[in-house]
């Protein structure tokens, strides 16, 4: 097993403007809008987000940011929060844990926001969220699947399925496809370790075998050595999970090495193919956090496509949108905008039965989403479709 630290680039901070929706459905039409100065504090209520807008997950981070923007539009279209406009201060983590922690400190101590969404990578989210919980700030997880999210503390809430549920789902899916000898490659961080170890446990409990398990070092220009090592076990399928730009290298080199003669199964598929050219991603299969659901999800998807001249690239987008709406609803429900108000309101909104674009959202006693959705997908003709 190959283990080493996952290198990250440094980040910088940007502010997300408050956008006021003008369309009748969800928000105004047209392309992505340029940045503008933050609104005056007296007329707004601020919350925060830390996202990877630069670095290997920048494509995913930007997609999540657009979901946040959509949520802000919707909230303000519906009257805002406590009679004021909602504004989200977005900080760029640069896919770096130190930058993310600095951003969290700024949001908590300078901007004094009551709630922060993000980050994305579990190895970055966990220390950032631990700091926020220590400071009494509400943390909303919208992108990290490490099982350690469950242990963050009383001010942390989680909207997505974690690796325990995801590993079981992926193992059952691959076993049902008749795969019995699988090679696994994942990033060497909290997220990747959880996927590799958890999938192996679940798959082998079903009678399958993980022939090779490899954790890769992030930020490399090539992964040929790792891929050749994987191929020596002659698997009947590969399970991989990787961040957008790193995944693009892995997918391209796997194709060049002739390793696509057997199926490649992508764990969190939208992340794993977000930066991979369509001709290389063609035919891949995998699983994904459940994307938008029902009439609300359909309307959101149509509005997003109209606004940004194309569909969203990841399932995380909808979770960001739902997080913004839930946080706004929580403050309105509690009648206040402190972190304690947010936490009280989130529990009340959950108990009342919140329905978002990702489906019904209800928290258990540990503030984890009950029955988070998953989808089985394949990549065909340039897009992800159900299979």
155 in any annotated domain: yes
For the chain, residues with pLDDT lower than 70 are 1-42
| 239: containing domain | 164-289+376-386
55 in any annotated domain: yes
Residue 239, domain CATH: 3.40.50.2300
Report the 10 Å Cβ neighbour count for 130. 18
Q: Quick one: how far is CA 355 from the chain centroid?
A: 19
pLDDT in tens, 33-85: 333 333 335 699 999 999 999 998 999 999 999 999 999 999 999 999 999 99
Sort 40 into a burial class: Cβ within 10 Å, 0-12 / 13-18 / 19+: exposed
Helices marked H in the chain: 58-77, 97-105, 122-134, 163-176, 190-205, 224-231, 244-256, 269-273, 278-281, 294-308, 316-334, 339-352
33 in any annotated domain: no
20 in any annotated domain: no
226 and 118 part of one domain: no
The domain total for the chain is 2
203 and 154 part of one domain: no
222 and 267 part of one domain: yes
205 and 319 part of one domain: no
pLDDT at 42: 63
28 in any annotated domain: no
194 and 279 part of one domain: yes
267 and 179 part of one domain: yes
285 in any annotated domain: yes
Residue 70 — φ and ψ, nearest 5°? -60, -40
171 and 188 part of one domain: yes
52 and 129 part of one domain: yes
C-alpha to C-alpha distances, 205 to 5, 175, 178, 198, 263, nearest whole angstrom: 30, 10, 15, 11, 21
224 and 274 part of one domain: yes
pLDDT in tens, 110-156: 999 999 999 999 999 999 999 999 999 999 999 999 999 999 999 99
276 and 304 part of one domain: no
| Side-chain-side CA neighbours of residue 288 (13 Å) | 29
pLDDT at 334: 98
C-alpha to C-alpha distance for 210 and 204, rounded to whole angstroms: 7
pLDDT at 291: 86
348 in any annotated domain: yes
Structure tokens at 363: 């928290």
190 and 142 part of one domain: no
61 and 157 part of one domain: yes
119 upstream amide cis, omega within 30 of 0: yes
4 in any annotated domain: no
C-alpha to C-alpha distance for 26 and 75, rounded to whole angstroms: 10
Q: Tell me the three state secondary structure of residue 336.
A: coil
């Amino acid at each position: 097993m190959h283990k080493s630290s996952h290198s990250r680039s440094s980040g910088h901070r940007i502010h997300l403007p408050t956008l006021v929706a003008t369309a009748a459905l969800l928000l105004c039409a047209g392309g992505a809008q340029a940045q503008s100065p933050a609104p005056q504090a007296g007329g707004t209520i601020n919350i925060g987000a830390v996202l990877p807008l630069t670095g290997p997950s920048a494509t995913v981070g930007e997609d999540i940011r657009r979901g946040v923007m959509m949520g802000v539009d919707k909230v303000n279209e519906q009257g805002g929060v406590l009679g004021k406009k909602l504004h989200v201060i977005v900080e760029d983590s640069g896919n770096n844990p130190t930058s993310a922690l600095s951003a969290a400190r700024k949001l908590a101590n300078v901007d004094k926001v009551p709630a922060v969404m993000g980050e994305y990578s579990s190895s970055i989210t966990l220390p950032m969220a631990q700091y926020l919980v220590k400071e009494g700030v509400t943390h909303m997880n919208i992108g990290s699947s490490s099982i350690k999210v469950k242990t963050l503390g009383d001010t942390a809430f989680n909207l997505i399925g974690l690796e325990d549920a995801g590993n079981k789902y992926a193992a059952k899916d691959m076993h049902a496809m008749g795969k019995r000898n699988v090679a696994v490659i994942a990033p060497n961080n909290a997220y990747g370790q959880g996927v590799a170890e958890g999938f192996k446990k679940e798959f082998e409990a079903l009678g399958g075998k993980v022939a090779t398990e490899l954790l890769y070092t992030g930020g490399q220009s090539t992964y040929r050595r790792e891929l050749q090592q994987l191929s020596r076990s002659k698997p009947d399928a590969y399970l991989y999970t990787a961040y957008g730009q790193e995944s693009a290298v892995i997918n391209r080199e796997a194709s060049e090495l002739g390793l696509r003669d057997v199926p490649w199964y992508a764990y969190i598929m939208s992340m794993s193919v977000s930066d991979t050219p369509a001709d290389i991603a063609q035919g891949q299969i995998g699983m994904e956090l459940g994307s938008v659901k029902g009439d609300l999800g359909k309307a959101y998807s149509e509005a997003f496509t109209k606004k940004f001249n194309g569909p969203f690239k990841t399932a995380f987008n909808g979770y960001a949108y739902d997080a913004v709406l839930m946080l706004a609803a929580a403050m309105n429900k509690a009648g206040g905008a402190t972190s304690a108000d947010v936490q009280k309101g989130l529990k009340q909104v959950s108990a009342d039965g919140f329905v978002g674009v990702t489906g019904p959202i209800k928290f258990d006693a540990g503030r984890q989403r009950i029955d988070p959705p998953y989808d089985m997908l394949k990549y065909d003709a340039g897009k992800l479709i159900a299979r």
